[in-house]
Amino acid sequence: MTTEETADTKEFQLPRSRVANERLHALIPGGAHTYAKGDDQYPEHLAPVISHGRGAHVWDIDGNRYIEYGSGLRSVSLGHAHPRVNEAARREIDRGGNFVRPSMVEAEAAERFLATVPTAEMVKFAKNGSDVTTAAVRLARAVTGRPRVAICGDQPFFSVDDWFIGTTPMPAGIPAATTELTVSFPYGDLAATEELLTRYQDEIACLILEPAGHIEPPPGYLAGLRELADRHGCVLVFDEMISGFRWSEAGAQGLYGVVPDLSTFGKALGNGFAVSALGGRRALMERGGLRHPHERVFLLSTTHGAETHSLAAAMAVQSTYVEEGITARLHTLGERLAAGVRGAASSTGVGEHVVVRGRASNLVFATLDEYGQPSQEYRTLFLRQLLAGGVLAPSFVVSSALDDTDIDRTVDVVAEACAVYRKALDAGDPTPWLGGRPVKPVFRRLV
C-alpha cells in the first residue's frame, strides 16, 4: 500500500471511496457507467474511487497510489495523460471540436487509420465499440438480405445492442423474436461452424468474432473461417476492440494475415479518448454512402463521431505505436509480468490455483479453488490482497507506461497475496479473508 503508512489487509480501508460509492449509486444506476467498473467487481467496501492518474499509476480519493492494470478496460494502453496524445487533442480543442460540416481532421484521421490497417479500404468513426459492431451487423444484413447473426459463443461481449445482449444472462427488455435471430458457434471449431451455416442455409448474414483472445487461434482456423464465409455467402467480421494494436498495429488480422470483410476497432485506438472505427471492403462500406446504385444503408450517423480532438488523439496514438514500437514493448512487459506471477504462485504452492492466461499484451488471471474450479471467493481474497499492496488489477493487462520497477513491485505483492491464498486453501475456506461478500460476475440475472 503506497501511502505514508503501511497497513495489513484487515486495516486497509477506503472511507472516502466508500462514501463516494454511495453517492454514485444514488445518482447513477449501478454506481458506474460501465458494469465492469461497478463496485460489485471489487471486495466489499474496497472499491477505490479514482482521483487522477498519470502513466501506469492512479490515485484514489483516499490518497492511496496504485500500480494499475487493465487501465480504462484496456483502452489506456500508453498510460494515463500521455503527453503526445494529450497535446494532439488539446490543439484541436483550441480550434473547435465539432462543426456542421466535415473537417480536414476527418480526412487525415481516415488516411492514417487506413495506412495503419491496410486490410481496410474505407473507414467510419464513432464513439464506442457497440456502435461500430452493430453497424457491421446491420451492413452485413443489408448486403446479404439475410436475418441471422452468428456470434462466437465462447467470447464475452460484442455490443450493448439487442442482437447481442439478448443472448446474455441479462436479456430483460429484449423481445425473444430479436434474440432468436442470433445464433452462436464455438471458437476454433470449423466443423461446428460449417454445420451451423448448413443448418441455417442462406439465413446467416455474418460470422462475428474476436479473431484471437486468451488462446491463440488454432493453425488454419481464421483462414478456414474466411473460406467458410466465402463459400456460404456471408460476411466475416473481426471484432478487434481488444486485439487491435495489442496484437499488432493492424490488429490480429495484421498478425495472422487473414483479411475480414469488416472489422471494428476501439479501446486502444484513442488511449482513453472516445473513438472507435468500422473498417472494411469498399464494396460493402460504400453501401452506407452516396455513390452506389443500391438501397442506402443507415450505416453510422453520430453527432460526436467526428469530434476533432478524439480523432487527433487517435492519430497520435497510431504514430506513437509505430514510431516507438509499443506493441513489442507491451509484449515484453507482459512476458516479464507473467513469468514473475507464475513464479510467485509456484513458490508459494498455489501455481495450480492462481493461473495467468492470454497473450503477453493481454493477460488475465484465473483464481481456482481447492478443486480447480473458478472461484469468486478466491478472486475476492486475491483482489483484496492486491489492493492492500497498492496494485489495482482486475486483470494483468499491461500499459506501455509500466516499467521494470512497477513489474517487480507487482510480483512482490502477488507473492504476498499467494501466501494468504495458500493459507485459505489449507483451511479449506477463504471466508475469513474476504472481509464481506464475494465479488460478482458482470453478467447475471439477479442483483
> For residues 428 and 445, what is the distance between their CA atoms, to the nearest angstrom?
29
> For residues 379 and 367, what is the distance between their CA atoms, to the nearest angstrom?
5
**134 close to 126: Cβ distance less than 8 angstroms:** no
> Percentage of the chain surpassing pLDDT 90?
95
3-state secondary structure of 51: strand
**356 close to 383: Cβ distance less than 8 angstroms:** no
- Mean pLDDT value of segment 29-40: 95
pLDDT in tens, 273-292: 999 999 999 999 999 999 99
Is the pLDDT at 359 greater than 70? The verdict is yes
Burial of residue 159, with CB atoms counted within 10 A of its CB: 0-12 exposed, 13-18 middle, 19 or more buried: buried
The alpha carbon of residue 118 and the mean position of all alpha carbons in its chain are separated, in whole angstroms, by 22
Could you tell me the pLDDT band of residue 9, with boundaries at 50, 70 and 90?
low
pLDDT in tens, 232-247: 999 999 999 999 999 9
Is the pLDDT at 92 greater than 80? The verdict is yes
Res 1: pLDDT: 40
Res 446: pLDDT: 72
Burial of residue 83, with CB atoms counted within 10 A of its CB: 0-12 exposed, 13-18 middle, 19 or more buried: exposed
Could you tell me the pLDDT band of residue 5, with boundaries at 50, 70 and 90?
very low
Q: Burial code of 322-349, b = ≥16 C-beta within 10 A, e = fewer?
A: eeeebbebbbbbbebbbebbbebbeebe
Is the pLDDT at 8 greater than 60? The verdict is no
> Backbone phi, then psi, for 434, in 5-degree steps?
-85, -35
Res 2: pLDDT: 42
Helix ranges, 117-160 (H): 129-144
At which residue does the C-alpha cell 510480483 appear? 411
* Mean of per-residue pLDDT scores for the chain: 95
Tell me the pTM: 0.95
The alpha carbon of residue 336 and the mean position of all alpha carbons in its chain are separated, in whole angstroms, by 21
- Mean pLDDT value of segment 38-52: 97
> For residues 56 and 36, what is the distance between their CA atoms, to the nearest angstrom?
20
**213 close to 358: Cβ distance less than 8 angstroms:** yes
